[in-house]
Chain A
């Protein structure tokens, strides 16, 4: 590597950060994120310094800085305000509010103020849909934005008060639990599930000795302890809660049986699906249950180390989560010889993301844990055999680990008694949008959409987006369908749209979300989502024709058939579903022509008008036939 300029003098903070992370390359993202937090950006010189210290090529460091939305090589201002831009935020008027703040601060969105004080921009859904619109200030989440609250925020910024000294009530985020069931109402104390798993192991060894069916089985059987709990997870019929619904016991067993000396347990708390916020509530109020489930998993698969991958938007939860981990270490629920069990050693480290939805995909998440750009890997091989550092790794959703802890404590039969035959247990639904009582509803699998709508006080409902933009959008004729793996599989988002909403605009918002979050690895997603978003904009601007609907259909097919990962495959769902079910919403925007070019003659003069300060009729071109 050649570096033209002399080595910069690194700030003392940088040295401490590098020290704390032991200068390990797989900590690169964590190092960059902390530097960003301290200095407001990661300058070229600092990137070069980090590259030298970690013995990495500069390209590697630059690649990571360029990938994550919350990292930047140039200053964004001492205050960085990011408005959440999910469709629910839009419905709550976030764009007017953004304008309001920009006017108060005398700046344009996306451009830092001249004095380097502040910048205002948008970001993907921050998971505050039930108390939106939301925003982030220097990474700290503020719910329920209103003009009054923005006026206060503008004052605090202009007087230069550090965000840590802002009134605490600005940051007060509530759980909004509207219906609790076995998970949210659980009766477990910290350690109960781990103790139960250990005890079950002991009992099962006794039983195994007494009921040995054949000498072969008895001789080749590995230690019975962990397998007894695996059997409970299996008989519970637990399936992954992240959306894909993979059988948990099969995943754990595959990881347990995979070749490798070190195993890992990873909790996927990169809850990025727009409209989903249940993991935020679980981590805020049931962190012990999450860590308990991870520890049970570690016991079953034989893992020594675990990671919680926390999405950057939930950075504000980090302090409390670290405290919970410290308490569990003191109580011998983590660390060496857990609860005095020789050889059962496990600890958990928290990695914080930096604004990349694609990292919710498990192999991209593992890349990110390794300090790289979050690009989904080619599969096979799968993470259960080749995960973190190419070693066997179990990745599960936050809610899955909670369910696993309950099963370890109460058994598979108890768990399976709730739900449907194919979908055991409960599902946490993140209900938001047009309803009287948005919040978290923990319902047994098999609950219908209509029931959830009634519970949440939704009226005149036109559509429900199930499982976020990558899920399904349904209309009233399908409200009798059930939340279940065999019907409407979901990661938990449940976004309600009443009859006043334009479903085309909903799909357009989602199309932009995917274009913004595409990792760019494969052609169909990198280029296709961009063209899809541009085509939706063309229709929005009044230049759409039936030809454009055909083009959308082509793009949807290409994405579905050839994209590299789930993000690309599902990025066509919002347009596919809404064109199928709400076609009139599109047709309202269309021109009565077969084709119209996207090129806008009058629009092309916009810049010239701005530069000359003209806006008279002579400064405009019209492409409309004169009437």
Chain B
């Protein structure tokens, strides 16, 4: 048996397979690196920057940076966690996130990462953007107030559902999620509650109707255990729909 290549992460040896990124290798080894826009079933694209690490002294996104044999990676340092806290504060400031009244509390990755990094203050003046709720679709809610622009729904609808229901428009602070209908309403798209795009949202923008609070607050995944203890849950795997086809 040949020995697989490894890199060190905070002093620990992490094996990896060719083609894996630092984040993918770490999660496979059940080692947690904070992240938001990464999803185990999709090709990472590196927009949230919460997974920023230092690889051989250079700041890079762990989710997109290719693992290399002998690389020295810093992850859980005070400097990097401080950076991540600021990024999480920025995401909270940019949208309208009211955890106490949010149906997704306890499922929400932004909330979970915030708790895990011990983000205790707002940090920045909140933007309070005006973002409408789209309740037009019979099966799915779209509450853009919580959107962190991770593009997972865009990727899921393009790559798995083949429907292109979601897209992005605007730029800079004006960047926003759009849906594939001239009317701009979700009801006028091909969206279905069974779509992959309906289950990938990390923050509760896309919620299935008639399923709210089915799992009580207090018994949800991040209520029971901090996200950092669930690293293996995020180890890379092929998208569910592709798996079924195997």
Contact = CB atoms under 8 A, between A and B. Distances in A.
Interface of A: 1-5, 44-45, 48, 57-60, 62-63, 65-67, 356, 373, 378, 380, 515-524, 526-531, 534, 551, 554, 557-558, 561-564, 597-599
Nearest to B58: A561
Given A44-B182, A530-B173, A523 B91 contact: yes
A58 B168 contact: no
Nearest to A557: B83
Contacts of A519: 171-172, 175
Contacts of B168: 59, 63, 373
Nearest to A62: B169
Contact of B182 (A5, A524, A531): A5
Contacts of A527: 90-91, 93-94, 173
B46 interface: yes
Contact of A524 (B49, B93, B175, B181): B49
A524 B90 contact: yes
**Chain A, interface SS category:** helix
Given A2-B189, A527-B94, A598-B125, A515 B172 contact: yes
A531 B127 CA distance: 9
A105 to B, nearest CB: 26
Nearest to A56: B164
A373 B47 CA distance: 15
A515 B169 contact: no
Interface string B165-190: 11111111111001111110000111
B178 A62 contact: yes
A516 B172 contact: yes
Contact of B170 (A1, A66, A522): A66
B49 A48 contact: no
Nearest to B93: A527
16 contacts: A1-B164, A1-B181, A1-B189, A2-B189, A3-B182, A62-B167, A65-B169, A67-B169, A378-B61, A380-B66, A518-B171, A523-B49, A526-B172, A558-B83, A558-B90, A561-B52
B87 interface: yes
Interface in B85-133: 86-87, 90-91, 93-94, 124-125, 127
A520 B46 contact: no
B175 A526 contact: yes
Contact of A564 (B47, B127, B173, B175): B47
Contacts of B171: 66-67, 356, 373, 518-520
Given A1-B164, A2-B190, A66-B170, A58 B182 contact: yes
Given A2-B190, A60-B164, A564-B47, 13 more contacts: A58-B181, A58-B182, A59-B169, A62-B169, A373-B171, A378-B46, A378-B64, A520-B171, A521-B175, A524-B90, A526-B172, A527-B93, A558-B86
Interface in B13-60: 45-50, 52, 59
Contacts of B160: none
B90 A531 contact: yes
B178 A562 contact: no
Given A57-B180, A59-B179, A523 B87 contact: yes
Q: Which of B90, B91, B169, B170 has the most CB of A within 10 A?
A: B169
Q: From B47, B64, B183, name the one whose CB has the most chain A CB atoms within 10 angstroms.
A: B47
B174 A520 contact: yes
Given A2-B181, A373-B168, A378 B86 contact: no
B149 interface: yes
Q: How large is the interface on B (under 10, 10 to 19, 20 to 34, 35 or more residues)?
A: 35 or more
A378 B165 CA distance: 24
A59 B49 contact: no
Contacts of A597: 125
A126 to B, nearest CB: 19
9 A-B pairs with the lowest CB-CB distances in the bound complex, closest first = A59-B167, A66-B169, A520-B175, A57-B164, A527-B90, A518-B172, A562-B49, A530-B173, A562-B52
Nearest to A525: B172
A554 B49 contact: no
Contacts of B148: 523
Contacts of A63: 167-169, 178
A523 B47 contact: yes
A520 B90 contact: no
B55 to A, nearest CB: 13
B36 to A, nearest CB: 9
A117 B174 CA distance: 27
Contacts of B174: 66, 520
B90 A528 contact: yes
A56 to B, nearest CB: 9
B167 A57 contact: yes
Contacts of A530: 127, 172-173
Contacts of A529: 172-173
A207 B70 CA distance: 44
B129 to A, nearest CB: 11
A597 B86 CA distance: 19
B87 A526 contact: no
Contacts of A524: 49, 87, 90
Given A59-B167, A526-B172, A561-B52, A534 B125 contact: yes
Nearest to A356: B171
A262 B175 CA distance: 34
B182 A520 contact: no
Nearest to A380: B66
A561 B47 contact: no
Q: Which of A516, A520, A599 has its CB near the most chain B CB atoms (within 10 A)?
A: A520
Nearest to A561: B59
Contact of A518 (B173, B180, B189): B173
Contacts of A563: 49
A373 B171 CA distance: 9
Contact of A521 (B47, B86, B87, B190): B47
A59 B154 CA distance: 10
Contacts of B86: 554, 558
A518 B170 CA distance: 11
Contact of B49 (A516, A517, A534, A564): A564
A378 B173 contact: no
Contact of A562 (B87, B125, B180): B87
Given A518-B173, A523-B87, A558-B83, A59 B47 contact: no
B83 A520 contact: no
Given A2-B189, A2-B190, A57-B180, A520 B49 contact: no
Nearest to A538: B125
A423 to B, nearest CB: 25
Contacts of B93: 527, 531
Nearest to A519: B171
A62 B49 CA distance: 26
B172 A558 contact: no
Nearest to A379: B64
Contacts of A564: 46-47, 49, 61
Nearest to B43: A378
A45 B183 CA distance: 10
A18 to B, nearest CB: 19
Contacts of B180: 1-2, 57-59
